[in-house]
């Protein structure tokens, strides 16, 4: 079994994972997808990152919406 890190390898006492059957793995994946569809469970979608786009100058930082903030409290 190929893994990205040795911590993800199955425990030695998991005899069924020594040489997994690809047909059974594929069937299991199919069954899981079928159950997800049946019950309306969707896989999580990774949200788009929203990077900060501040431009800092000597007068302060210009926020994306145009305000200039010089870090002083209100």
Q: Encode the chain (74 residues) as per-residue pLDDT tens digits.
A: 677 788 877 777 777 777 778 899 899 999 999 999 999 998 888 888 877 777 787 777 887 777 777 766 55
Is residue 35 one of the residues assigned to a domain?
A: yes
Q: Residue 10 and residue 2: Cα distance in Å, rounded?
A: 11
Q: What letter does residue 64 receive in the DSSP assignment?
A: T
- The total number of structural domains that make up the chain: 1
Is residue 30 one of the residues assigned to a domain?
A: yes
State the residue for tokens 């209100």: 74
**What is the domain extent for residue 30?**
1-68
Is residue 13 one of the residues assigned to a domain?
A: yes
Is residue 50 one of the residues assigned to a domain?
A: yes
Is residue 74 one of the residues assigned to a domain?
A: no
Is residue 17 one of the residues assigned to a domain?
A: yes
Nearest 5°: phi and psi at 44? -70, 140
Is residue 11 one of the residues assigned to a domain?
A: yes
């Amino acid at each position: 079994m190929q893994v990205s890190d040795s911590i993800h390898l199955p425990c030695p006492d998991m005899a069924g994972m020594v040489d997994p059957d690809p047909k059974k793995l594929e069937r299991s994946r199919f069954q899981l997808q079928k159950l997800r569809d049946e019950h309306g469970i969707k896989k999580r979608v990774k949200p788009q990152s929203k990077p900060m786009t501040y431009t800092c100058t000597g007068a302060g930082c210009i926020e994306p919406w145009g305000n200039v903030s010089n870090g002083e409290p209100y």
